Structures are given as C-alpha cells and as structure tokens.
Amino acid sequence: MFNLSTLDKYDKSGIHKIYDTWPNIAKEFYMKNYDKVEFGGINQIIFTGMGGSGAIGDTLSAIVSKTNLHLSIVKGYHLPKTADSRTLVVATSVSGNTIETLTVLDNAKKMGCKLVAFSSGGKMEKYCTKNKIKYVHIPMLNSPRSSYPAYLYSILNVLENLIPIKKNDILESIMLLKKTQKQIQSSNIDDNSALVLAKWLSGIPMIYYPSGLQAAAIRFKNSLQENAKLHAIAEDVIEACHNGIVAWEKPSVVKPILLQGKDDYIKTKELWKVIKEYFVKNKIEYREVHSVNGNILSKIVNLVYLLDYVSIYRAVLSKMDPTPVKSIDFIKNKL
C-alpha cells in the first residue's frame, strides 16, 4: 500500500514536500526584486555547474538553442579556449562548495571573463565577496536537485536582459507547473501519472529522447540515480537507431521509456512510430511520456517536475530514502 504515511516513513527529510510547492517556489523567485545583470559586448555565455546545478545549465541551453545567442555548458574543470573578455561565465553551485565549479570560476577570473555566480553560500560566496564578483545568494531547499526551480527562475530573473525568452513564456511555464502539480503531487495517490510510471519501473530504465528534450532526459537519468539509486541510461533516439537499437535483439532487464515532445520534428514523429512498432513486434514492454503543450521552457520544466516525482516515488516503493547520496559524499570527501 502506497500512501502519505509510507512517503513520510521512507522520505525522512520530506523532499516530496518541497516538490509539492515547486510552482510557488518558481513564482516566488522569478518575482523577486533582484538587480539585473547588465554587461555589454557579450558574444557568448558559458554556464558552469555540476549535478543539480548542471541541470539548470542544460535547461538554459535548450531555451536558447533556436536563437542567435551562443551558450555552452561546462561540467568539469576547464573553460574552452574561446573564453575571453567578451564571455559571460555564469557559475552555479547550490552548496557553494563544488570544486569543479569553483575551479572554473577562478580560471574565468584569470582569463578576464565577465562573471556572475549563484549559490547558497559556502566557498563561492566568500570567493565572490573577496574578488568583487557579482553574486546572488539563493537558499538551498533540502538538496541541490530539489532547489531546481528556485535557482532556474532566479537566474532567468537576474539574466533577464541577456537570455532571449519572453516574460509571457516564463509565466506560462509557471502556470503549467500548477496544472502538473495537481496531477502528480503527493496528496494525489489515486490518479497520479508519476506514481503509475514509478510502479512500472524496474531493472534499468532506458530513456529515449529527441534532441530538444535532452535536458529533461539527462535530468531524469540523474534523478533516478540519486533518488531511486537505480542505474539508468539516456540516449538520443535518432542516434540510438544507428547503434543502440541492436541491443534489443536479445533479452534484457532494460526498460524503455519514450520521452516525446508535442511538436517533435515530423521525421522524429515517424521514427517514434517505427520504434513502437518494433517494440510491439518483439514483445518489448515500454512506456511513453509526453511533454505539455507550450514553449520550450514549459516543456522542459514540466517534464523535470513529473519525472523527478517518478524517481522519488520509485525510491519510496523500494523502501529507500530518496535524499541521502552517500556515494557522492564519499567522493567529495576524498577530493
């Protein structure tokens, strides 16, 4: 039996209670009276962040993918050699202590890049204060991954004059989050699409996605790994049809999930039909997840919302606490 008592029993830190308020968090931080970043002569933006912070960069990359703005993502220690005084480096570390992000921030300062940083404090705040770098303090809400809406909408707020997205599109994404909330929040046990998918999940989830939804797919993989402690794989569906599809020719514990956009490219829609035909013919059980109708930000954040809940419900169904990440803590303590 799955109910609120079960959630409270295994989700000891109450991460699901943070998710239940995501739409309110998004609105609150988007409406805050932050000072806007004003930099002239910028020809590229580089976003650096790891884990839950990195998911924000992936989302921003999806937003600007069809614009003239060049935005790249750094998940690691090294800036591209093209970084210079006309580059804005946006450094995000929810904890404020991510060694990779701090290293990139320091290197960006030495290379003369323009800088803005976001964290809940830690070493990043101290570094920015010492070096007079534009810094925005945002609280951590339980964990970096559950802080996603606070950081994403704060960054959209602060970078309003640099990120080419309309205010109406941002407000639409928040409005649709409220609709999604009613379907998947923890108080809705009887008709909850996230819970249904979580109950089906077993083995190793294989997440197939079109390129436009890569941010949501990577986030889902990461959330399954962190919350549900599951191995998970994410593959671009078009590329997978030139290699990965062959692996289905023998029995497998892998479970395919097809992540689809409402307005996928026409050839991609044709490909989805063929893949589903192939799975049915070979008796491979799969599930489909569709984006909401709306702009790219709405699609990404609502998929992240839905699929993060799936990972939390899967953890609780497996009688595991979704919040602790002992393996990550072990690695960080050794660095």
Same domain as 261, residue 231: yes
CATH of the domain at 274: 3.40.50.10490
pLDDT of 39: 86
Same domain as 69, residue 133: yes
- Total domain count for the chain? 2
Same domain as 255, residue 165: no
Euclidean distance between CA atoms 132 and 117, whole angstroms: 11
Is 247 a member of any domain?
yes
Residues forming beta bridges with residue 207, ordered by sequence position: 234, 257
Is 329 a member of any domain?
no
Is 249 a member of any domain?
yes
Cβ within 8 Å of residue 191, ≥6 positions away:
183
Residue after which a domain boundary falls, among 120, 146, 170: 170
Residues forming beta bridges with residue 235, ordered by sequence position: 208
Query: Taking CA 48 as the corner, what is the angle to CA 17 and CA 14, rounded to the nearest 5 degrees?
Result: 10
Is 323 a member of any domain?
no
- What is the tens place of the pLDDT at every residue in 101-145? 999 999 999 999 999 999 999 999 999 999 999 999 999 999 999
Residue after which a domain boundary falls, among 170, 194, 212: 170
Query: By residue range, what is the domain housing residue 276?
Result: 185-317
Same domain as 224, residue 258: yes
Is 127 a member of any domain?
yes
- What is the tens place of the pLDDT at every residue in 30-44? 999 999 998 888 989
Euclidean distance between CA atoms 72 and 216, whole angstroms: 17
pLDDT of 133: 96
For residue 69, the tally of other CB atoms under 10 A from its CB is 16
The amino acid that residue 145 corresponds to is R
pLDDT of 265: 94
Is 267 a member of any domain?
yes
Same domain as 133, residue 206: no
Same domain as 219, residue 140: no
Same domain as 288, residue 221: yes
| DSSP-based three-state secondary structure for 45 | strand
Q: How confident is the model at residue 99 (pLDDT cuts 50, 70, 90)?
A: very high
H or E element in which residue 48 lies: strand 44-48
Same domain as 200, residue 165: no
Q: If you average pLDDT over every residue of the chain, what do you get?
A: 95
Q: How confident is the model at residue 272 (pLDDT cuts 50, 70, 90)?
A: very high
Euclidean distance between CA atoms 157 and 105, whole angstroms: 21
Is 109 a member of any domain?
yes
Euclidean distance between CA atoms 71 and 102, whole angstroms: 19
Is 218 a member of any domain?
yes
Asked if 84 contacts 112 with a C-beta cutoff of 8 angstroms, the reply is: yes
Asked if 283 contacts 290 with a C-beta cutoff of 8 angstroms, the reply is: no
Same domain as 152, residue 45: yes
pLDDT at 66 over 80: no
Euclidean distance between CA atoms 218 and 325, whole angstroms: 18
pLDDT at 13 over 80: yes
Asked if 181 contacts 22 with a C-beta cutoff of 8 angstroms, the reply is: yes
Q: How confident is the model at residue 4 (pLDDT cuts 50, 70, 90)?
A: confident
Residue after which a domain boundary falls, among 141, 170, 199: 170
Same domain as 164, residue 133: yes
Euclidean distance between CA atoms 122 and 134, whole angstroms: 15
Same domain as 148, residue 35: yes
Same domain as 302, residue 225: yes
